[in-house]
Structure 1
């Protein structure tokens, strides 16, 4: 803020003889002695919430195997750019081709057994049907009827058993064929290889513990995760502008729009007397891939802002009246001090937005109104009252 020095001199009678000095009451219309002033100027004003954060990947995918076996080849390295569908790993599965052939041969044998058993079951049904007719005519023995009934039940049971074996073997063959198709691991998205924990010759299994074998991230957009104190987080809203700087690029500023406030305390905060913080997320474009995961971000969330506003230092306002109006003293063009009623809008710790009462270029006193200088007048002759 520009501070100006104004010289204000009181009129004094020239060549006046020594006289008694009389203090005059101060009037806002009286010229004054030297006073410091601040010039009312236009500028932009912002209310912000400060926070510290970290950059992290916005979109990434972890690559693991879907078949047990041994890694045959890893044709990529950390830092390589890959496109979706590109081969990033090749597996030699534990299941061998000859094992699948044995399963297919067993399937053929079971289907032959099923056909033979179907014929036997059809014959047993005919026998039972004939015995049932004879029994109705009292032309057969009870033992013959029961024997045909038991033969049919046994044939049907053998049919069910063969069907179950075939279903089990079909599931095994389907799983084996699916595993053989997964011997080539393809990139799930386009991006950059940022982590690699796989090497040729390494034995792997489905669902193995530990980190991913390979991670691919899209670096064209990053996420900033900022930690905001609970006293400030209630002022944040989705879609508001967030600016940040990072030590690696001095003098540069990036911007994004607030996406989400995580509604649970950040890990390690709010316990045993610790201050509570909340994680706030927003994205930033990174077309040149200058920003990297793990970089520190000094974040400013813009809560409110006023463009081209009249600005006045907050320390000049004093206390408002019952209507919220402030009084300041202005040095007018006639170099006289006048009082003004001022209405204030948005304010920060340093500056306030003037809504009415002042104009751009006017000079506001920075301190109390000075006491008027004394006026000299001739002393009365002796004998005169």
Structure 2
């Protein structure tokens, strides 16, 4: 009968080794310390905080006038160049005045003719009055017929009526003369305001026709004060009102802020690509002419601001209770977690002002680091180097 003692010993040895491995695995998991929780934290610190409505705006001159021509004719000369600064009443351009000068001379001649006719008519009226008086005296002495007196009376009345008609014609002709003088004055175009010549639409030698609409020759703009027209979305316009402080920057100088006060919010909206915007207007001084017409402005309308306020990230804030307070978890120095109820002031899209419940230097929990690492792993993104991950 074969000897099976070695094989039995091998099986016993394998079973013993397997049992030792199982016991080692159980001992490792049983005796190893519990896994510690990783947290993302932020330090409560002081900083300037503002809550604002952001909008894109366009710069316009506070006063801008399109200078047109009320007289038709050839533009004889331009007295200004593009960019020139002018004062109210300065001579800007001249339209050829020859035709209107001739018209004025004709109207003046007509008036003088009517005035001469009036003098002649006054002489005839005077003569008719004498004839009528003489006929009346002669009729009283039975030296003439009543028919002759009646004829003198009729002649006198007719001449007086003609004199009244001439007076009316003279008044009418004076109005025509005044219109001709005004039309001639329109050939000399002067500045209606103080400002700069920002555009010239008509050049010397061109013919302008003012029959149906007033042709534009140039534009004047007072650039000493600029108006910003900011486009506020319909979601934000309910929080915007006149009197709020506002500032803006321009693309060419993003580090300089220009400050003003909101003057008005236009009640009628504008639609841009089916989006509704309301124009908010405010004015800023521009003494050095740095700001130009049609520049783009990045506008911030301040709803509230706090200087050197205690701030926390919005991600650290929990649910709001019935008293308006919000829960915040604070990581203490011994790595324990304490829940606190804090009162919040103004906030923006990233931070909130802490009024009560926290002090400077407290570490507040903003999230779970393991959850973030899992999300980063799924998205293939790295961790933020500024994020601190204390352990509890």
TM-score by length of 2: 0.75
> Structure 1 residue 116 and structure 2 residue 124: aligned?
no
* Aligned match of 1:348: 348
Indicate if the aligned counterparts of 1:68 and 1:94 stay in contact, CA closer than 8 A. no
Indicate if the aligned counterparts of 1:68 and 1:206 stay in contact, CA closer than 8 A. yes
Offset of residue 142 of structure 1: 4.5
CA distance in 2, matches of 1:96, 1:186: 18
| Unaligned ranges ≥5, structure 1 | 1-17, 24-31, 374-385
Residue range with higher mean Cα deviation, 345-354 or 91-100: 91-100
SS at match of 2:47: strand
Offset of residue 267 of structure 1: 5.0
Q: Deviations over 1:298-342 (max 9, x none)?
A: 222111222221111122221122222223233445665433221
Offset of residue 74 of structure 1: 0.9
> Structure 1 residue 209 and structure 2 residue 213: aligned?
yes
Per residue, is there more helix in 1 or in 2?
2
CA distance in 2, matches of 1:99, 1:34: 95
What is the root-mean-square deviation of aligned Cα atoms in Å? Answer: 3.5
* Aligned match of 2:339: 339
Alignment of 1:13-52 (within 5 A): 35-52=39-56
* Aligned match of 1:28: none
Q: Deviations over 1:227-260 (max 9, x none)?
A: 2122211211112122223333344433322111
- Number of residue equivalences: 343
Alignment of 1:198-347 (within 5 A): 198-206=202-210, 209=213, 212-266=216-270, 274-332=274-332, 336-347=336-347
Residue range with higher mean Cα deviation, 175-184 or 109-118: 175-184
Residue range with higher mean Cα deviation, 44-53 or 132-141: 132-141
Offset of residue 133 of structure 1: 7.0
Offset of residue 126 of structure 1: 4.5
